[in-house]
Amino acid sequence: MRSKKNVETTKLKKGETLKKEFDNYVEMATSAVDWTLFCSYQLKPNFSEGVHKIIQLPSMQIAYTDMSGGIMFDYVAPEECITFSVMKNISQKACIDQMKLETGMIIATDDKKRYNFMCSDRVELFDISLNKNTNPVLLKKLEKAIDKYYLDSDKKITLFITDLINKFSEIPALDSKTSLKIEAELTEVMLQLLHTQEAQIPYFTKSETIALEIKQKLFKHMDGRTNIKSLAKDYTISTKSLQNAFRSLFDITPNAFARLLKLNLVHHELIHSTSSDTSVQFIAQKWGFSHMGRFSKYYKELFSENPSHTLKTAIPKIDGIQIHCVERQEEML
C-alpha cells in the first residue's frame, strides 16, 4: 500500500515541530509527515494551497491542516497508528469514504485501511495519530470507533488542540518533559469525551448511498465512454435524484465530477508526454472529449493554462496520479 506513494514525506524526531505552507501537490504531500497521499485529483484551480503545522510527540503526532479545497485524493494514516480527527471547520462539503463531514465531527481511522478524501472548499482539521503500542485504555476505545464519529458539541477538544498548536508548533524542539505533559493532557481530554459519548454510525439516504458507490466507481474505473444516465439506470435511480445526492455530498453534479476526473487524466498524460509522441486532440478524445473548443475551455479554467502548453512543458510535474490510480482505461473506439 505505502509503496504506491510518489513523494517521500518529511520525517520528524520526537519533540520536533514543523510549519509548512504549500501551494502545490508535492509540497502538500511532502509536508504531511508520515502520511501517505496518492491519486490526487484537482477539482478547483487553487486545490492544494494551505498549511501544515505538526508536533511530533513520543507516542503521538498532532497535525493541523488548513487547505483551500477543491481536491480529492486517497490517503493512508501513519503506520501503526489510529488517528483521531477533529473537524475544526468544514466550509462547504467534504467526505471521507462513507462519512459526510461537518464542523465539530470527530472521526477515528486506522492505518490498515486506504481512505478517499474529497472536499469542495476550505477545510481545517486536526489529526491526532496515536501509536498502537501506547495508551492502551484510549486505544481500546478508539478501536471500537473506527469509521464512526463523535461530536465536539461544546468545542472543548477543538479549542484545546488549537491552543496547543498555537503555543508549541513554531518552537523548533520540545524537551521530553514538555512533550510528555502535552500527551498526558491531550489523552485526558480525549478520554473525557469518549467516556461521555457513544460512537455514532454515519447515516445516508438511499440516494446518497448510491451516489457514493457511483463516485467510487467513476474514480476507479474511468474511461472515455462513461455515461451518467446509463449509470443511473444501472443503479435504478433517477438522474435528478442522483444529481441532488451528488450536490448534497460533494457540492457538484455527477456530470461535472466525471468531467473533472477526465480533465485530470488528460492533464496527467499531457505532462508525461511530448508533442512528438502524441497530440492534445488524441489524448482528449481518448478520455471522451469530442468537442475540442469546450474541452480547451474546461481545461484552461481548471489548470490555468492551455493544454498545448502543458504538452510542450519539458519537465514533467508530479501530480499524484499513477498507473494504479485508474484500474481500467479504455480508449474511444
Instruction: Examine the fold and report which residue of 160, 178, 196 is the final residue of a domain before the chain moves on.
Output: 196
332 occurs within a structural domain: no
pLDDT score for 317 = 82
Instruction: Give me the percent of the chain exceeding a pLDDT of 90.
Output: 78
Please tell me the distance from the alpha carbon of residue 225 to that of residue 170, in angstroms, as a whole number.
Answer: 50
C-alpha to C-alpha distance for 180 and 74, rounded to whole angstroms:
32
Residue 201 lies in a domain: no
One domain, residues 190 and 211: no
- 219, 190: one domain: no
For residues 138 and 8, state if they share a domain.
yes
Host domain of residue 238? 206-325
Contact status, residue 240 vs residue 253, Cβ threshold 8 Å: no
Query: For residue 280, what pLDDT is reported?
Result: 96
- Same domain assignment for residues 217 and 191: no
Q: How would you class 137 by CB atoms within 10 Å of its CB: exposed for 0-12, middle for 13-18, buried for 19 or more?
A: exposed
Q: Please indicate, yes or no, whether residues 160 and 218 belong to a single structural domain of this protein.
A: no
CB 22 within 8 A of CB 52: yes
Q: Are residues 139 and 20 in the same domain?
A: yes
- Sheet strands (E) in the chain: 17-22, 36-42, 50-56, 60-67, 71-76, 81-90, 94-96, 99-100, 105-110, 115-119, 123-131, 149-151
Same domain, 7 and 133: yes
pLDDT at 55: 97
- Domain match, 246 and 296 both: yes
Task: Tell me the three cell numbers of residue 208.
Answer: 446518497
CATH of the domain at 294: 1.10.10.60
Residue 239 resides in a domain:
yes
Among residues 196, 231, 246, which one ends one of the domains? 196
**pLDDT score at 331:** 46
Last residue of a domain, one of 158, 173, 196: 196
Q: Looking at the whole model, is its pTM more than 0.85?
A: yes
Q: What is the pLDDT of residue 20?
A: 95
Residues 218 and 189 in one domain: no
Is residue 315 assigned to a domain? yes
Flag whether 331 is in a domain.
no
In a domain, 69, yes or no: yes
Q: What is the pLDDT of residue 318?
A: 85
Alpha helices in 154-291 (DSSP H): 156-168, 176-196, 206-220, 228-234, 239-250, 254-271, 280-286
- pLDDT single digits (tens) 80-120: 999 999 999 999 999 998 899 999 999 999 999 999 999 99
| 210 shares a domain with 113 | no
User: Do 258 and 282 belong to one domain?
Assistant: yes
Domain of residue 42, CATH code: 2.60.120.10
**Same domain flag for 213 and 124:** no
Low-confidence ranges of the chain (pLDDT < 70): 1-5, 224, 327-333
Tally of domains within the chain: 2
Q: How many CB atoms lie within 10 A of CB 323?
A: 9
